[in-house]
Structure 1
């Protein structure tokens, strides 16, 4: 994944640190980032929070928040940025499939971010097998990191 190498270059050039929170990707995002060059210098770490109570207690997800929502994605990104004392953070939450969950179709994914005290999110409507949905989710999160580290 060439974009992760660009993220690494930009983080190293600017001195930014990066953190991730992930749910449906269950470690795939952190693993992808950890493979980039000099990750130990700029990758603060990540939290895999699969269950909602973990998202609430570790990352500060407000109780009652739909875990597959724009609010959740932003809260998770903000929470991991604070927890890891990172400059920028991204989060990935959603339904990988193969079936729907909690009233959300498989492939409904939110990528959240937090940097400079601001948060945002992007809805992805993906299709395919669960593995394809997870890979596309990671690619979207890395693209968000690329944007955040280039500001």
Structure 2
């Protein structure tokens, strides 16, 4: 990752959240906490970052984020329906104003013809609204996770402007 560009984007995001007095939360599966780590690399992030749930297992998605078993059964963990539920759930769990959630296949194993390695769903939520985006990243596990972090942050920037 280009640490300068990421730090600049996170600083811009943090300033926007701080000015609006909004708190941010993350719900992460395939990134394993990398988004939260990247956000908290910036000094002063405690003014706008509330916390994170690393929901790697479906059980954690259900118990901490309120994702319904029926949604997991019907759509799978890597799906629009699940990341939307994760993003909305973490708003409640953490008590934040804005959230981002990610679920995907970082590889090198775990892919399928329907959801190959690099398939990542990202959702952003706020009280009264949410949106999701399907991303198809390439590269090794680390590169897919880095691309996911950047896409999540860029989406937050768009949502908070």
1:45 counterpart SS class: strand
Which runs of at least 4 in structure 1 moved beyond 6 Å after TM superposition? none
2:130 counterpart SS class: strand
**CA distance in 2 between partners of 1:75 and 1:113 (Å):** 10
Please report how far the alpha carbon of residue 91 of structure 1 lies from its aligned counterpart in structure 2 after TM superposition.
Answer: 0.4
Q: Which residue of 136, 150, 153 maps to 1:125?
A: 136
Task: Show structure 1 runs of 5+ residues with no match.
Answer: none
Map 1:75-114 to 2 at 5 A.
75-101=85-111, 103-114=114-125
TM-score in terms of structure 2 length: 0.89
**CA distance in 1 between partners of 2:109 and 2:117 (Å):** 6
Q: Corresponding residue for 2:155?
A: 144
Q: Corresponding residue for 1:23?
A: 29
Q: Corresponding residue for 1:56?
A: 62
Please report how far the alpha carbon of residue 99 of structure 1 lies from its aligned counterpart in structure 2 after TM superposition.
Answer: 2.5
Q: Does 1:116 align with 2:127?
A: yes
Instruction: Report if aligned partners of 1:99, 1:105 keep a CA contact under 8 Å in 2.
Output: no
Q: How many residues align?
A: 150
Task: Show structure 2 runs of 5+ residues with no match.
Answer: 1-5
**CA distance in 2 between partners of 1:8 and 1:81 (Å):** 17
TM-score in terms of structure 1 length: 0.95
